[in-house]
Amino acid sequence: KRRKVLNTSEELLELPKNELINRILQLEAHNKQLKSIVAKQNDSKTKQDSENRKRKRQFDFSRFPKQHIAIKLLYLGWDYQGFASIEDSTNTIEHHLFAALKKCCLIESREGSNYNRCGRTDKTVSAFDQVISLTVRAAKEGDPPLEYCKMLNRLLPKDIRTIAWKPVPENFSARFDCKRRTYRYFFPRGDLNLHAMQKGAEYLTGTHDFRNLCKMDVANGVVAFERTIEKAAIEIISKSSSHKGSGFEMCEFILTSKGFLWHQVRCIMGVLVLIGRGQEDPEIICQLLDTTAFPRKPQYCLAVGEPLNLFHCEFDLDNWMVEKSSMKEVVQTLQQEWATHSIKGVMIEQMLVGLDGMADSVNLQSGGLLQGTQSKVYTPLSKRPTCESLETRIAHYVKKGRIEV
């Protein structure tokens, strides 16, 4: 039953007090409901107006010329999930790189940028000389060149920095036009026998089948594992500091080739560590390169990723454009990073000095170079369980229709 509409004050005065109170409460509730509806409509209109303004402000790429360029960049990959973009994470170098490229309107999209990368470094791996190539917005005729490094470095995280760029031909590819790549793996000497490691490294030079010294990526169509190693060397890069003993000397494993397989450097370094510990002879490298002696890869631990660095990518390019103001900022940032980590290193070193004589002699600075846990009783590689053979893996993925041979 509908209430009678009261239009005059006389009619309202005739109502009992409790009914007046009920009517007031109902009116306030109705008023609140109406305000909510109006607010939602206003919010929707404001949002629509904002979207319309954004569309009006959308950058007009057609007003600018484009050019194909190569960009050099460095990054400390310790806290990232790798260089290449992955579906379930935004914590990659490429994610931050493309976010910056889009934000400063250098590209419309990755898909339309003719993008290539020189190296695909894995989780925690760093680079001093990574190179990418892509097509970007250029300055209008008569205007000074755009300062690409300065523009990008303002938007990138501090541990990712562009350092130089250069115009290149339209068909230039950072991946396919690279002449050679050099990786360096840094490690403390500890109790490792560097002479034995160097002897093992020398067996790597030349053209070999590295199926036993990489992670076979057959699922993605990689079925050929011959690669040519131009240089493989173990070198000391810094002598022992104030703390006594050569175990604190920093060393590096240098590996140069035109191209590398997945986890190739870390697999090789994992075996070299076993050689340095005296658990394997240097000749184990020769045996692993012989697919007759080792038709299947024995199971062994990868070297950890943090010490690995894509140190140099060589191209037939010169006269890279270096923006001095941007480079000064890059150097300052790296100096600050160096200071932070060096201070921590010195603090730990002084703790070790203070503990001298309180325990038996320990020389295991290199003890954390291998992933996973190692058995107390060592099993030689020749007696370990093995992975599936290359032929078995190929047959498996051919049957599933993933690859064609």
The DSSP H or E segment spanning 45 is helix 17-57
**Amino acid of residue 395:** A
Q: What is the dihedral of CA 219, 220, 221, 224, to 10 degrees?
A: -90
Sign of the Cα torsion 11, 15, 18, 19 reads negative
Alpha-carbon distance of 213 to 96, in angstroms, equals 32
Alpha-carbon distance of 184 to 111, in angstroms, equals 32
**Amino acid of residue 183:** Y
Alpha-carbon distance of 366 to 184, in angstroms, equals 16
Find the DSSP H helices in 226-361: 264-276, 284-289, 324-354
Alpha-carbon distance of 259 to 229, in angstroms, equals 9
Residues carrying an active site annotation: 122
Listed in order, strand segments (DSSP E) in 195-249 are: 206-209, 226-238
CB atoms within 10 A of CB 386: 13
